């Protein structure tokens, strides 16, 4: 079965992927208008994706031009004509004073001079990358705020530009409005919008002091409360944020800090610039599945992250490749579980949760049984296990994840097929080269009866994870070379404005995104 399953938004009320998604009102939260940005891009030469527009007569402008196969581009500003794209022949300007760097769809400014570079009225630290965003104003040497307060020739602004992203990449940037948010904006500079949902936006951001690149989820209180009432949800924001604070493991996306303001919450997460596991399978590997020798260390990271959550009696409830993020692509990448929005603390390992949550393709039988209680197999399962479910729901999802990783396909055509899951279908040609021990692990995770599924501790001890069966093909990794993949314990990447693929964690347009409050993942 192909890796594409349509979701009926009317059938699954937690789905946030329909066209009914609400937008943040531009007049309330955005700087500038889309009309203004589109007008600025009219008459732009073909291929120009962004422009540094001079704001003063006699100062040069410059364009970023997209080139096929080239993901990085730098424009430098300085006094020397032969070393810079923009020359400012003033003795106060350094040879190379500042650089604007494009990495994919993100832009970063770097101050290279001790003489001062200002983003708005904010002095930039030397050699630290800060994300550039729509309508940011860049000035050299002179603080424009001081120039306005103390008009005098010697402190007049003489080199200033406004940054604009053009064409399909144009976006507007959240601007500070509420005084209670001052603390957040003192620490972070918001960048591009990465995703949006019913009551939240996610943006990239840079920490002013050191350029640490992060993902910020901004949850609007008013919209969240409207959604909660409409969904009859018992979700309490403070409790959910407290759960996120407690998660601290190298294979789980970490909440670095949070800001509770009058009108909104700011949730600051570590950035994962390698995209998600689903994209890695379908794009990087061409939909062929992960070679078994590479799959083993990658899957171990997922299991270790889930083992940590289960040790704290936290059921994730929406484990899927789209919610597993990569810190980078290739050797050294670390996999991290994200989107704890549907996570629920379970007092009893076997059960406790009753709400209908998750993503249909990964629903465990006990979850499907609650949705289709009149099905004969569902009635039997409910009679045996009751209407609540617990940690084993994640183990089922884990089995589906491994099936998808190795086979690049889903195990079932329809939801009710899960009740006849034994034996798992390994008939397609891709499974001929997969080891028996890998298939055994999948079968023992995807047991219809949750009591018969392996625990995370048992998965870690399974012969497939501990052995070398399946070889060591894929990205030049040996079969048990976990340390090559794992890298430096999954530490956040400082000042490296996203050198590969998509970025995350960001807001997903689907189940488990704004359906609850976690860090979420964009598709």
Q: What is the pTM of this model?
A: 0.69
**Per-residue pLDDT at 171:** 58
Q: How far apart are CA 94 and CA 22, in angstroms?
A: 47
Peptide bond into 411 cis (omega under 30): no
The DSSP letter of residue 352 is -
**Per-residue pLDDT at 514:** 36
> Mean pLDDT over residues 382-406, rounded?
80
Listed range (75-79, 160-164, 483-487) with the worst mean pLDDT: 483-487
Q: Give 349's pLDDT tier (boundaries 50, 70, 90).
A: very low
CB 329 within 8 A of CB 284: yes
* pLDDT for 173 beyond 70: no
Alpha-carbon distances, residue 128 vs 207, 348, 491 (angstroms): 10, 48, 18
The closest alpha carbon to 286, from 104, 72, 474, 505, belongs to 474
Residue 366 has a CB neighbour count (10 Å cut-off) of 26
CB-hemisphere CA count at 13 Å for 431? 17
* pLDDT for 185 beyond 70: yes
Beta strands 344-345 and 314-315: pairing type? Answer: antiparallel
Tell me the three state secondary structure of residue 398: helix
Q: Say which residues have a Cβ less than 8 Å from residue 123's Cβ, sequence separation at least 6.
A: 116, 117, 143
**Per-residue pLDDT at 148:** 87
Listed range (197-201, 425-429, 509-513) with the worst mean pLDDT: 509-513
CB 334 within 8 A of CB 275: no
> What would the pLDDT profile of 118-144 be if each residue is shown by its tens digit?
999 999 999 999 999 888 999 999 999
The closest alpha carbon to 325, from 367, 283, 273, belongs to 273
CB 213 within 8 A of CB 204: yes
Q: What is the mean pLDDT of the chain?
A: 75
Listed range (17-26, 42-51, 185-194, 399-408) with the worst mean pLDDT: 17-26
CB 411 within 8 A of CB 424: yes
**Per-residue pLDDT at 3:** 62
**Per-residue pLDDT at 181:** 82
**Per-residue pLDDT at 477:** 43
**Per-residue pLDDT at 208:** 94
Listed range (16-25, 169-178, 315-324, 372-381) with the worst mean pLDDT: 16-25
* pLDDT for 487 beyond 60: no
In terms of Cβ atoms closer than 10 Å to its own Cβ (0-12, 13-18, 19+), residue 346 is buried
> What would the pLDDT profile of 235-249 be if each residue is shown by its tens digit?
777 777 888 898 999
Topology given in CATH for the domain delimited by 177-271: Phosphorylase Kinase; domain 1 (3.30.200)
**Per-residue pLDDT at 228:** 77
Q: Give 43's pLDDT tier (boundaries 50, 70, 90).
A: low
- Cα distance between the two ends of the chain: 20
Q: How far apart are CA 117 and CA 313, in angstroms?
A: 49
Q: How far apart are CA 105 and CA 311, in angstroms?
A: 39
Q: What percent of the chain has pLDDT over 90?
A: 40
Q: Give 425's pLDDT tier (boundaries 50, 70, 90).
A: confident
Tell me the three state secondary structure of residue 297: helix
CATH code reported for the domain at 46-175: 2.60.200.20
439 is in an annotated binding site: no
Beta strands 324-326 and 335-337: pairing type? Answer: antiparallel
Q: What are the residue boundaries of the structural domains of the chain, listed by start?
A: 46-175, 177-271, 275-461
* pLDDT for 340 beyond 80: no
Positions marked active-site: 318
Listed range (71-80, 135-144, 386-395, 505-514) with the worst mean pLDDT: 505-514
More confident residue, 28 or 26: 28
Q: How far apart are CA 315 and CA 451, in angstroms?
A: 15
> Mean pLDDT over residues 176-194, rounded?
81
**Per-residue pLDDT at 414:** 53
Listed range (242-256, 383-397, 451-465, 496-510) with the worst mean pLDDT: 496-510
Residue 197 has a CB neighbour count (10 Å cut-off) of 26
CB 110 within 8 A of CB 128: yes
CB-hemisphere CA count at 13 Å for 113? 23
**Per-residue pLDDT at 111:** 97
Beta strands 122-123 and 117-119: pairing type? Answer: antiparallel
Place of tokens 């106060």: 92
* pLDDT for 398 beyond 50: yes
**Per-residue pLDDT at 499:** 35
Residue 10 has a CB neighbour count (10 Å cut-off) of 8
77, 79, 80, 86 alpha-carbon torsion, rounded to 10° = 30
Q: How far apart are CA 11 and CA 26, in angstroms?
A: 31
∠ CA 486-488-492, nearest 5°, is 105
The DSSP letter of residue 254 is -
**Per-residue pLDDT at 501:** 35
**Per-residue pLDDT at 411:** 85
Q: How far apart are CA 488 and CA 490, in angstroms?
A: 6
The closest alpha carbon to 305, from 344, 252, 345, belongs to 252
Burial code of 121-147, b = ≥16 C-beta within 10 A, e = fewer? eeebeeebbbbbbbbbbbbbbbbbeeb
Q: Give 471's pLDDT tier (boundaries 50, 70, 90).
A: low
The class (CATH top level) of 275-461 is mainly alpha
Q: Is the dihedral of CA 199, 325, 258, 211 positive or negative?
A: negative
**Per-residue pLDDT at 194:** 83
Beta strands 86-87 and 72-78: pairing type? Answer: parallel
Residue 356 has a CB neighbour count (10 Å cut-off) of 14
> Mean pLDDT over residues 80-102, rounded?
96
């Amino acid at each position: 079965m192909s890796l594409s399953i349509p979701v009926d938004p009317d059938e699954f009320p937690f789905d946030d992927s329909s066209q009914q998604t609400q937008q943040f009102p531009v007049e309330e939260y955005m700087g500038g208008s889309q009309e203004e940005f589109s007008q600025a891009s009219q008459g732009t030469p073909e291929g120009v994706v962004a422009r540094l527009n001079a704001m003063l007569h006699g100062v040069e402008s410059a364009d970023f031009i997209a080139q096929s196969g080239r993901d990085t581009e730098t424009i430098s500003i300085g006094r020397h004509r032969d070393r810079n794209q923009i020359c400012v022949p003033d003795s106060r300007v350094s040879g190379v004073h500042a650089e604007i760097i494009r990495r994919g769809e993100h832009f970063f400014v770097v101050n290279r001079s001790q003489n001062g570079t200002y983003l708005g009225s904010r002095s930039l630290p030397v050699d630290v990358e800060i994300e550039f965003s729509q309508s940011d104003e860049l000035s050299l040497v002179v603080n424009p705020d001081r120039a306005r307060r103390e008009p005098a020739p010697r402190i007049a602004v003489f080199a200033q530009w406004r940054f604009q992203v053009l064409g399909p990449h144009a976006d507007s940037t959240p601007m500070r409005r509420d005084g209670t948010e001052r603390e957040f904006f003192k620490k972070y500079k918001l960048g591009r919008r990465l995703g949006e949902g019913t009551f939240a936006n996610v943006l990239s951001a840079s920490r002013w002091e050191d350029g640490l690149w992060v993902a910020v989820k901004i949850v609007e209180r008013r919209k969240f409360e409207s959604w909660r009432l409409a969904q009859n949800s018992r979700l309490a924001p403070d409790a959910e944020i407290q759960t996120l604070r407690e998660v601290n493991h190298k294979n789980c996306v970490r909440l670095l800090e949070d800001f509770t303001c009058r009108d909104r919450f700011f949730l600051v997460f570590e950035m994962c610039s390698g995209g998600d596991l689903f994209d890695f399978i379908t794009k990087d590997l061409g939909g062929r599945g992960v070679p078994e020798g590479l799959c083993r260390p990658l899957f171990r990271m997922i299991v270790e992250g889930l083992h940590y959550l289960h040790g704290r009696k936290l059921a994730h409830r929406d484990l899927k490749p789209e919610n597993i993020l990569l810190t980078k692509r290739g050797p050294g990448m670390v996999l991290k579980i994200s989107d704890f929005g549907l996570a629920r603390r379970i007092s009893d390992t076997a059960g406790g949760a009753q709400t209908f949550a998750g993503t249909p393709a990964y629903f465990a039988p006990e979850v499907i049984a609650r949705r289709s209680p009149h099905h004969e197999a569902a009635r039997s399962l409910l009679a045996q296990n009751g209407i609540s479910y617990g940690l084993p729901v994640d183990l089922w999802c884990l089995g589906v994840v491994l099936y998808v990783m190795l086979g690049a396909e889903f195990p079932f055509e329809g939801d009710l097929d899960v009740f006849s899951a034994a034996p798992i279908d390994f008939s397609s040609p891709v499974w001929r080269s997969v080891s028996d021990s890998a298939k055994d692990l999948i079968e023992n995770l995807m047991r219809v009866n949750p009591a018969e599924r392996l625990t995370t501790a048992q998965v870690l001890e399974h012969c497939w994870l501990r052995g070398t069966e399946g070889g060591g093909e894929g990205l030049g990794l040996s079969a048990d070379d976990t340390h090559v993949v794992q890298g430096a314990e999954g530490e956040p990447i400082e000042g490296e404005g996203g050198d590969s693929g998509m970025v995350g964690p960001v807001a997903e347009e689907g189940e488990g995104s704004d359906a609850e409050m976690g860090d979420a993942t964009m598709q």
